[in-house]
Structure 1
C-alpha cells in the first residue's frame, strides 16, 4: 500500500521537509564557504580582516615596533617634555574616533598638556567637549595640545600653574567656567615621581612636593569645582597600578596613588546623593614624558617590557577609559577603578 502524505496549501509534508533540508545545507555551505574564503584570502601572508580589525592590528604592530626601536633617553626635569621624546607618544590625534558622547560638555584636565592628559583632551574634544588644560610650565606641549583640540572643532583653554597650590586650582576653575560657560567633568591627572633606591633618600622636600602635586591637588581641584558641578557631573582621578602592587623605588609616588584610590572611593560615597559620580583610572606602564623624566636611559629603553603584553601602553590606549567614565555609558558606576595596564592582574 502506498504511503499516505498529508497536504496543506498544495505542498506535502515530505516536500516541506526536503525544502527545509535543502535550505539548511545551503546555509551551512554558505557559512563554510565564507569561513574558507576568510582563511584563503591573504595579502602578503596576512589573513584579510575587516577594516576595524585591520586598523586595530596596525596600531598594535606600530606600538610593538616603537617598543623595539625606542632609544635610550632621559630628561633632567619634572614632569618632562613630550616634544623631546623619541618616539612621540600616540595621543589619538590620528586614531581616536568620536561619537558625540560628551557633546556640549566642558572639562578641566590637570596635567593636560602631554601624556595621558593630552590624549584625554583629544578624546574629549572628539566626543564634543570643550576643555581647559592645566599644566606647570611646558608651554610648547600645551600649545600642541591646544592645536589638537581646536582642530577637533572644540575650544581649549590653556592655564599654566602649580596645582599643588590651592589658589592656582581655584583660579584655574574660575577661569575655565568663565570662558567655557560651564563645568561638567573634572580630571585630576597631574603627577610627578622621583626614583629613589631607599626610603632614607626621600627628602622632606621631595615627599611634600610629591604629595602636593599628586594627591593634595585632587582635593584642591574638587573643592574649587564643587560650586559649579551639577547633577550628572563626573570626577575622574588618575591613580596607578603601583597603588595595588607597590613600587620599591617609587615609595612616595605609590603612596600618593594609593591615597587617590581611597580618595576616589570616599568622595564617591560622599557625593552619591548629589548624583555626581567619582571614579578613577589606574594605568600600567604608559609611554609619557614622566617616564623619560624619571628613570635612567637604560630603564627608559626597556620600560613596559615586563607586563604580559610585553610593551608600554600609549596614552591613546588609556584615554577611552576616561571617556567611558565621563559619559553616560557609566551612569551606574561610582567609586570604581578601571585598569588599562597591559595585562597585570590586580586585586582591590
Structure 2
C-alpha cells in the first residue's frame, strides 16, 4: 500500500472538495448551497472543508478560478484584427458569447454571474477597481491596431465606453443578456470609428513626491504567473515594478502613462484577503484575459505584466513591508540595481517617470 505524504493527502482532499462543491453549486446555486452537504458529498468532515477553504465564498471562487484556467488551455492563438473597429467588434462577440442568457438559472456557474457572491463593501470595491484595470488592458491591446506610421494615441476612453456598454449600467451589473447581442456587438464596433480625444489629467499628479534615487543591488524573487498570459515571469529585467493594493489598482494606468515606449512594466497586486479578494481578482482578470487572447495575437497583447503577489514575495523584494489593500510602492530597476523607489499615492507614476540613466551616470561624466 502506497502511503501518501501530507502534501499529497491535502491535495487529494482539496480536489475532492472541489468536485463535491461543483455538484452542490450546480444543484442549488451559491446562496442555497450548504457546506455540510459539500462535506457529505466529498465524504469528509466539515472541518476538512474549512481547512482548505476558509468560507463558502472562497470555495466558490476557487471553483470558478479552476474552471476558467482549465478552459484557457484550449484557447487558440488569434490573428490580430486590422483596425480598431474590427478589434472591438470581435472582442464584443467573444465577450457576449460567454455570458448567460435570459432564462438561464442561478445554478449555472459563470465567472461574471457574481451578484449573489459579491455582497459586501470590500468585494464590491475590489470589483470596481478591477473593472478599471480591465479598461486599461483592453486599451493597451487596442493600441496594437494603430498603423505603424500613426501618432501614438491612448485608447483608454474608448475602452471604457465599450466595457460600460458590455457590462450594462456598471461593473457590478448582472451580465444576463436582455438585448440582442448582435446589436450590442455592432454598437461596440461602431465605437472603434469614433474620433475620441484621450484626455488624461489626474489632479493629484503635480503634487506627488518625486521618487528617491538610490543604488542598491536588486535581488529578484522567484517567478510568478502572469494573470494576462498565464505564463510564469521573472523579475530580472530592467523596468518598473509597482506593488499595488486592491484599493490602488487605478495607479496601474499612471505607471503605464509615465513609462517609456517598450519599457518593461510589472504590476504586483497584493491584498489582505487572498482567499476571497485575491481569488476574485484572479478570476475576473483570468476571464478577461481569455477574451483578449481570442482576439489579439500574443505579440499584440497588453505590454504589461500583472501578477497576484499572494505570498508577498515581490512586495518584500521592493521593501513594501506589511503590504495591504492601500499599498502603493514602486521601484525602478536598472542593470541589476534598484536606482529609484517611491511609496504612497502617486508612487507608481513617480518611479516610472525617473530617467534611470541620469541616476546611474555621474554628474558631467560618461554613463
TM-score by length of 2: 0.29
Higher relative contact order (CA 8 A, sep 6+): 2
Higher CA-based Rg: 1
